[in-house]
Structure formats: C-alpha cells, structure tokens
Structure 1
Amino acid sequence: MTTFAPASIAVTPLTCSIGAELGDVDLARVAHDDALFAELRALLLEHKVLFVRDQDISRADHVALAQRFGALEDHPVAGSDPDHPGLVRIYKDLDSPPEHYENAYHCDATWRREPPMACVLRCVETPPVGGDTIWVNMVEAHRRLPEPVKQRIRHLRARHSIEASLGAAMPIEQRHDLARRFPDAEHPVVRTHPETGAQILFVNSFTTHFVNYHTPENVRFGADYAPGAAELLHYLIRQAAVPEYQVRWRWTKNSFAIWDNRCTQHYAVQDYWPAVRKMERAGIIGDATY
C-alpha cells in the first residue's frame, strides 16, 4: 500500500456536543494512506460525525474509504449500485416508495443482530434548499438522564424490528418474508461503546418494546406492564430530539458525512418535495452490542 507524507487534517467543531467539519483533506487520498486514515478514525471517535465538502471522488474511492473501517453490508430494502456492492442508493424523487422514509430519529439497522459500526454517506444531488440531516450524540443523551432513570434502565434490553418499521408499508406476504429473513434483534438499552467504553442510550425508532421489563421491581400488577414500559420507552426515544445533543448539516453536492453508528442517531429532514435528493451510503458491518 502506498503511504504518502504525513499531513494534518484541519478540524472545525460545529457544536459543543457533536460534529466537526474537516478541511484540507482529500478523501480519495485518505482511502489509501494509513496515517491519514488513522487520523480520520481518531477524529471520528472524538466528534462522532465528520463532514467534508467538495469531494469529487469516484464511487470506487468512496467504497475503498468505507472498507478501511471493515466489510460493507447490503440493505434488504434500499437498492445498491450494481457495480459497487454495499454502496446503497438512497434516491428520493416523486416515485420513491413510501417505505423508504428516513424522517425519524434512528440508528442505522439496529434491527440487525450486529448493527453497522459506521457509515460513509455522499450527497450526489441535493435540493436548492432543504433536505438537511440532523445527527445526535447518544452518549450525551445518556449522560444527562436523571440518575433514577439511569438506574432503572441499566439492565433493560429491547427488541428492534425491520418488520414493524420499514416493512410496515409492505403487503403482508412481503412483510412476513422480511421478518423471516431478519428476525427482530435484541440489544441492551444502554450500550457500551467497544472502543471508548462510553455508555450509550441505544433505543430509537426501530425499537418496539422492552423484553425484560415485567419483573416485580417494575410491575405491581399485570395491568402496569404495558403502559409503564411504553411510557418509559417513549421517554427514552424522545431524548434524541433534544437540540443540545444535535448538529444539523446542510448538504451540497459531493459533500460527505462519516458517522459512528454505535453512538449516534440521525434524522433526514424531508421538507424538499417535489425537489430531488440523491444520496449514496456505504455501511460498515458492526459487532455485537455490549
């Protein structure tokens, strides 16, 4: 592998909580330079989502950059580029199918047993205004929970479902087939980051219910179970909407976002109809939750 002379990446933090814009960097070069990639990865762990503008690079280099983090995954609903497996096309126009919604706070593919560890997203075409994306620091969301809530949720686990989310708009046979191929995954409500050790609030719009809430500590009568669990889960999911945990990015053509999918959520704002928005995303296969 070719190694270039060391170069430092310019970093501009965008909020006090999350996100940084990078300058003086060519992502095609990062894809093939060990030192630059190591610097990029360290910045990702620090800022959780990185943004870079004006990267007119090839799809092959986009894939090569993502593959530096690990093997890429495909997506069972969104289509991939036929020449670059793992490069998922998220194209929104007047003919987009209704199940391809993104305007909910979510962590990508937590319906998998091993959700993606990171994603590299490129803007191919963007509306003249609108179509921003919001990212959320879920480490900070957990840190600032009231202490009694932290104690209450520390051992809880929850189910995450593709059938009840992306599959909900499908015909019943197609939805059931999706569920057979991707059974609901179970994850801890508070996940430990495998590299930083940080505690992460790990519920989102794919989360359907707690699986171990119905215990004597939480439920006095059987009638308490459903409302008690649902109200707590809804409270936790709403934490992603707190502005102090967020950064909002306005896309331009050939701008990139790279985010740590283990400790963030994001929300693609769909305010641009009937304009067109086209994105291409490479998701990196992750590991089991802790």
Structure 2
Amino acid sequence: MRAGTLKASFTVTPITPVIGAEIGNIDLSVTPDEATSAALREALVRHKVLVFRDQDISPAAHVAVARRFGELEIHPVFPRHPEHPELVLLGGSEQNKARENIYHSDVSWREVPSMASMLRCVECPVAGGDTLWVNMAHAYAQLPQEMKSRIDGLYAAHDIMPAFGTRMTPQQREENRQRFPVAVHPVVRTHPESGEKILYVNEAFTTHLVNFGEKAEVRVGFDFRVAELELLQYLFRQAAIPEYQMRLRWRPNTIAFWDNRATQHYAIQDYFPAVRRMMRATIIGDKPI
C-alpha cells in the first residue's frame, strides 16, 4: 500500500522522523465513516502510532471506533469494563505499581496476535507516566547485514506465563496454559499491508529461539544455550535505541492508536504512588508470516 493515497479531512503532523503522528481536526465521539477509517488506517501503517488529543469519548464510542478496524479481542487476564468487556482497564493504584514498564508487543503470545491497540487516558499524574513506542521495522532495517543473515529463518517462542502467570491462581494458570499454548512466530515477520520486514521478538513474552540449533555452530552444549541467549538479548536491546522511538506525554482524553505488528512500547513507571488509569481496546490481527 502506498502512503498518502487517500484524501482525508483530518491533519497529520509527524512526531519524529521515524515514528508517530499527531492527528488533528477529528472527533472520535462520532464513529468515522468508511473513507475516514481507510485514511486513518493508511496513516497508521505509515506512521505506526497515531495520537489524538482532547477526545472526551464514552466507553461505547471507544469500542465503536476501534471496531471500525476489525474484530476486538477479550483479554483473559486484565480487568475489563463492566459494560464493555472489549475494554481492558489498565493502571495500578496507590498501593500497587503498574507493571507495563517493559518493552513489548501486545499479546504476541497469541497464535494470532493483535493488529492494533487503541488506548485512552482517563486519568494521569501531572508529571510522569509517559509511554515510549518503537518502530521495529526501522529497527530491523538498521541491523547489520550479517545480523540479518543470522536471524533469517529463525523462529521464536512467545509465552503468556512470564508476564501474566504471577497474576493467576494455580488453577487459572493450568486453564490458561490449555487455552494459550506457547505460540511460535518468525523472528522477522512481514507486515501484511506495507510489506516491511519487522523485528518481532520482545523481552516480555519471547522465551527462546525454537530452531537456533539449525543455524548455529555448536562446539559443546553450553555454547548452544549461551549463544542463543546472547543473540536474543542483542535483539531485545534494539527496542531501547532512542533514535527508533517516540515518547508521548499523556493528558486526560488523549488516545494513542498503534500498529502492534510493527511496534513495541514501554509504559514508564516513574509516578507511583500517583495513579494513571487507562482504557484499551485491542483489534485482532493475523498470524505472523
């Protein structure tokens, strides 16, 4: 898909040269029509993260807007809105810190991970609580050619348990292990709309490389495991490079809409014991290839 091919009434202002754009002249309390939705989707694929300010919309409107882009998932662990289960309720409390301060791609542990997420700020501290997003297509493009050759054809395991297992009872862990077995995805996935190559491993959910031994030269056993872990750590660290990132300072009624196929994000936990409350709708995507 070529960027910029659809006419739209909203404005698009890039946030950084590589990721993010602020969208103006749009009211998301009114569900966008087909043409506007298509133009927003095109902007999403191009910029990876879209930011909308001053969107005082209801939970029902939030769900309706997100649904314009696909079917919505029901998260198995996070608390959900009592009237709209498609909306998860994110944020800690004055007693407990939020725990999203790790680079990750949402629900990569699903066999079919999400296409995108739409997050609205309900309440946030006066200072702190920013979120970082990373362009993982750019991260892949900037890898040395030797590294691209090393990871070509590798597959990684993604598991719900490292991040969410501690929030479950033993019975819930057993039930969710049956519902969500370990998913295997390519280390480098291809974006289904842009055709971009994307580095698709993250430190929250990726546990190991399932076929590392097919390409590695192993002298003795510990070479195999140590080399695999070193390679994964190198790939994880790509998300932390500032030149690949944008940073969003939240205000109430700010909405961030990001392409979960091509990004990772990190919610900065620097505001505890202040509280930040968010609502998120997540759009089901496609199986990574």
Shorter-chain TM band: over 0.9
CA deviations on 1:222-248 (whole Å, 9 max, x unpaired) are: 221100000000100110000000000
Give ranges in structure 1 of 5+ residues lacking alignment. 1-5
Alignment-derived partner of residue 211 in structure 2: 212
Q: How far does the alpha carbon of each residue in 1:148-196 deviate from its partner, in whole angstroms, 9 at most, with x for none?
A: 1100101000001111222146454443333222111100000000111
**Partner residue, 1:137:** 135
Cα distance in 2 for partners of 1:156, 1:49 equals 27
Match of 1:260 in 2: 259
Superposed CA deviations along residues 14-59 of structure 1, whole A, max 9, x for unmatched, are 1011001111111123x24112111111110110000011011111
Mapped to 2, the partners of 1:180 and 1:170 lie a distance apart of: 14
Normalising to structure 1: TM-score of the pair? Answer: 0.93
Opposite residue 249 of structure 1, the aligned amino acid is L
* Unmatched tracts of structure 2, length 5 or more: 1-6
SS at match of 1:18: coil
Alignment length (residue pairs): 282
Partner of 1:23: 24
CA distance in structure 1 between the partners assigned to 2:76 and 2:215 by the alignment: 39
Match of 2:59 in 1: 59
Distance 1:169 1:80, change over 3 A: closer
1:202 to 197, 200, 206: 200
Contact kept, 8 Å, 2:95 with 2:273, in 1: the verdict is: no
Q: CA RMSD in A?
A: 1.5
Pairing of 1:1-290 with structure 2 (within 5 A) = 8-29=9-30, 31-96=31-96, 101-168=99-166, 170-205=168-203, 206-215=205-214, 217-290=216-289
Alpha-carbon contact 2:155-2:209 (below 8 Å) kept? yes
> Structure 1, residues 190-229: CA drift from partner, whole Å, max 9, x if none?
0000111100000002100000001364323322110000
Report Cα offsets for 1:101-153 as digits up to 9, x if no partner. 10000000001000000011000000111010000000000000011110010
Does the residue aligned with 1:158 lie in a helix, a strand or coil? strand
216 and 76 in structure 1: CA distance in 2 versus 1, 3 angstrom threshold: closer
Q: Which residue of 2 aligns with 1:3?
A: none
Normalised TM-score (structure 2): 0.93
